[in-house]
Amino acid sequence: MPELYPLTGPLDPRPRPAGAEPAGPAAAGEALAGAVPEAAAGPAGPASAGAGTASAPQLWGASGEVSASRVTVHEVGPRDGLQAEPGVLSTELKIDFCRSLLAAGVTSLEVASFVHPRLVPQMADAEAVAGALAAQAASTEGSDGRDLRLLSLVPNLRGLQRALETGVRAVGVFASATESFARANMSTTLQGSVDLACETARAAREQGASVRGYLSMCFGDPWEGPVVRSAVVRASTQLLESGCAQVVVSDTIGVAHAGQIEAVLSDLFDAGVRADQVALHLHDTYGQALANVRTALEADIREFDASAGGLGRCPFAPGATGNLATEDLLWMLHGLGWETGIDLPALAAASDAVDRALGRTSASAVKRALTRTTASG
């Protein structure tokens, strides 16, 4: 494995002509699709907080069917959060964690990963966890008016078969946008990882399952440094063409900045990818995740991955820290007037038992602040 890339500043910084203003999606002299003047665009949210009657602005990345007021938060704590934690939790605690998240209003939940237990022992009970949630969903389907997506990650056809036999009806496949991560995480090439993901996605669609396609290392790689955007676009379009409803553009090690978010999304839109076909998966290593969400909202992206309590990191990516904390994301989204359907205090409480079992302090600044406020009150 090559040496790690020496990171001393932002990767792939956007060039700016002398004297040009740095703010706005067209700041680099490169007009982005559908760009509108700042005065016409208004704020990133559908309305300022407390002013629920304002109409949503026309945004520079608008394409496809996007919501004027609602953002989907895809909760990844039970899978992406727990798979990298050093402790292995009991199956019962994992199931309770999932149920608490659903009770808090989560409608899109990542519950397990059907990878080989030797590689990720934290997910060895995938059948039990996903099966319990699938059975619960089947028994309550439609009773509360919510459309639930209970997703499990599948690495290949064998993992897909295990998931389907468990009752899973929504799966995630994954690929890499860089050669080094493909070798480290999947023992294959970049294109080999995409081909495997596409093969698995097609098989899942043939069995009637919905598919999300995860693309890792879209903004920076711990060994290679900057990532070629054309590789991200090429892999994303292949995943979509194979039957993935969405491609999840992932900042696996948390190095992305707002300029990169704009540039990658612009390239995807130019390639014909719609905004409703893109979700973002962000880590917060450099504290830029919320700024990146805000930038993506302006490009009409309406789905973001997050992890309760900031649980997790990528176990195969050196330097990666926790996922964007769901509590922090909800605080910003709700403050901007976006609807999520999730109760923030209930969501914050959902990971309490997990934190105690792992002996950890929550990585969410919002949860820590809410806890202090409650304790002092």
* Spatial CB neighbours of 320, under 8 Å, sequence gap ≥ 6: 222, 252, 253, 254, 283, 285, 313, 314
Among residues 198, 218, 244, 314, the one annotated as catalytic is: 314
Q: Are 250 and 312 in contact (CB under 8 A)?
A: no
* C-alpha closest to that of 108 among 143, 133, 76, 81: 76
- List residues bridging with 210 in a β-sheet: 170
Sign (positive or negative) of CA dihedral 187, 193, 196, 197? positive
Per the annotation, the verdict on 98 as an active-site residue is no
> 3-class secondary structure for the chain?
CCCCCCCCCCCCCCCCCCCCCCCCCCCCCCCCCCCCCHHHHCCCCCCCCCCCCCCCCCCCCCCCCCCCCECEEEECHHHHHCCCCCCCCCHHHHHHHHHHHHHCCCCEEEEEECCCCCCCHHHCCHHHHHHHHHHHHHHHCCCCCCCCEEEEECCCHHHHHHHHHHCCCEEEEEEECCHHHHHHHHCCCHHHHHHHHHHHHHHHHHCCCEEEEEEECCCCECCCECCCHHHHHHHHHHHHHCCCCEEEEEECCCCCCHHHHHHHHHHHHHCCCCHHHEEEEEECCCCCHHHHHHHHHHCCCCEEEEEHHHCCCCCCCCCCCCECEHHHHHHHHHHCCCECCCCHHHHHHHCHHHHHHHCCCCCCHHHHHHHHHHHHC
Tokens for 244?
């993935």
- How far apart, in Å, do the first and last CA atoms of the chain sit? 52
- Which residues are identified as catalytic? 314
